[in-house]
Structure 1
């Protein structure tokens, strides 16, 4: 039985919409980032102007919370296949494992890119609305690039989590590794490892949010490094799905 690529993509889109954990995490990327940005800039916006070293990077302060929801989306969207024999059902409908995995990562990554880009543009505009005459605009140097790059960054982090989940088969395990890594280990290594820390997935990708590059990577080269991390995770997940029994 041959299944069309369009049909498989549509089925994966239905899964994302129908699973509360996945859909809730995807929505939370937008809600959490914009809500925290609005709250922070409504109360301490002027302080950000006075004390921030990079006002453009500061405009995306809340993206650190949004990326946790993004990781949760990538992990739960894949881990659902390993619950209660769901993978057997999916592979019975789509026997071609390559097509199945490609469609899942494409839909998950595509949803993340759309929501991530909407989130970064909305976050930027919402925060700057409270800055008065000191506000940055989309016409300022690096602003559009940061908004677009931020959306790409979130999508890459989603794919990073999705690929690891295909390997470990557990959203809990993946989030237990990635969340502490991003919130704690990355900062500690940044202080200890020097320029080597510039190549960590989060630090590299977030260069796209800065007006001026910090460290050895620029905005697009930083995203390229994050893309390599994500590609490695996705390829590892592909290998696991192809080689392992259901």
Structure 2
């Protein structure tokens, strides 16, 4: 039995919107990112005069608007993992693969629907965070019409979508929400940040998917006195895209090879 790609897309859309956990994880991504970013904008704005001279010189009001992304991205990771692993934990994967025997069609439909949804939510989050943050920063704010600002705002949404897609690739390989979240959340929340501030490992950590991809949200190179990487905003996003491609390809190859 051959199932059309449009039918597979409709099926995946139905599965995603009827599972409460995926809906709540995206809602949390919006609330946490915008809310934490706003609070940190208040703190940064009030403590601006006490900053070091190099931090003042490289102050990036656009990036400051996304200060809550470190926490908000965890909800995006949860979304990406649950989109894939829920079917395995519930046993529905057998039914899904019976309905869509061609596994490349099944996986492509799932990834396309979920990534598109993450992109829409990511763009809503990025624009909300930006305008809320600029309102808080007041005289230190920047207009979205300034050079590279719109790119950074749209880039923040693209970053969230790419992160969701990367998480789906990892979850497809591992087939377990516990294992996937047990690896991804500590890595993005702790390991990457720690290695990024240690001089001995900083050169390697700047090529991690989150650190490279997040550069697309910067307008000022070396924002807040940070080290300027050997690639630009789109170059960093390209590095993240390569990580994502590897994760998705690995998931696809294992899906083709293993039984449901």
1:201 aligns with 2:209: yes
Give the 3 Å change call, closer, same or farther, for CA 203–43 of structure 1 in structure 2: closer
Question: What corresponds to 1:54 in structure 2?
Answer: 59
1:128 aligns with 2:134: yes
Is the 1:49–1:134 contact (alpha carbons within 8 Å) kept by the matching residues of 2?
Answer: no
Q: Which moved more, 1:157-166 or 1:131-140?
A: 131-140
Is the 1:46–1:131 contact (alpha carbons within 8 Å) kept by the matching residues of 2?
Answer: no
5 Å-filtered alignment, 1:167-206, equals 167-190=173-196, 191=198, 192-206=200-214
Q: Which moved more, 1:131-140 or 1:225-234?
A: 131-140
Is the 1:48–1:58 contact (alpha carbons within 8 Å) kept by the matching residues of 2?
Answer: no
TM-score (norm 1): 0.94
Is the 2:155–2:216 contact (alpha carbons within 8 Å) kept by the matching residues of 1?
Answer: yes
5 Å-filtered alignment, 1:139-150, equals 139-150=145-156
Question: What corresponds to 1:244 in structure 2?
Answer: 258
Partners of 2:233 and 2:153 lie apart in 1 by: 12
Q: Which moved more, 1:219-228 or 1:56-65?
A: 56-65
The Cα of 1:25 is off from its aligned counterpart by 0.7
**Where in structure 2 are there 5+ consecutive unaligned residues?**
222-227
The Cα of 1:2 is off from its aligned counterpart by 2.1
Question: What corresponds to 1:228 in structure 2?
Answer: 242
5 Å-filtered alignment, 1:51-200, equals 51=51, 53-55=58-60, 56-190=62-196, 191=198, 192-200=200-208
Question: What corresponds to 2:22 in structure 1?
Answer: 22
Is the 1:75–1:165 contact (alpha carbons within 8 Å) kept by the matching residues of 2?
Answer: yes
- Count how many residue pairs are aligned between Structure 1 and Structure 2: 246
The Cα of 1:212 is off from its aligned counterpart by 3.0
Question: What corresponds to 2:232 in structure 1?
Answer: 218
Give the 3 Å change call, closer, same or farther, for CA 50–108 of structure 1 in structure 2: farther
**Where in structure 1 are there 5+ consecutive unaligned residues?**
none
Is the 1:21–1:76 contact (alpha carbons within 8 Å) kept by the matching residues of 2?
Answer: yes
Give the 3 Å change call, closer, same or farther, for CA 167–187 of structure 1 in structure 2: same
Partners of 2:201 and 2:232 lie apart in 1 by: 19
Question: What corresponds to 1:32 in structure 2?
Answer: 32
What secondary structure, in the 3-state scheme, does the structure 1 residue paired with 2:201 have?
helix
Partners of 2:247 and 2:127 lie apart in 1 by: 27
Q: Which moved more, 1:11-20 or 1:32-41?
A: 32-41
Q: Which moved more, 1:30-39 or 1:50-59?
A: 50-59
Give the 3 Å change call, closer, same or farther, for CA 195–12 of structure 1 in structure 2: same
Q: Which moved more, 1:190-199 or 1:20-29?
A: 190-199
The Cα of 1:54 is off from its aligned counterpart by 3.1
Give the 3 Å change call, closer, same or farther, for CA 146–49 of structure 1 in structure 2: farther
Output the aligned Cα RMSD. 1.6
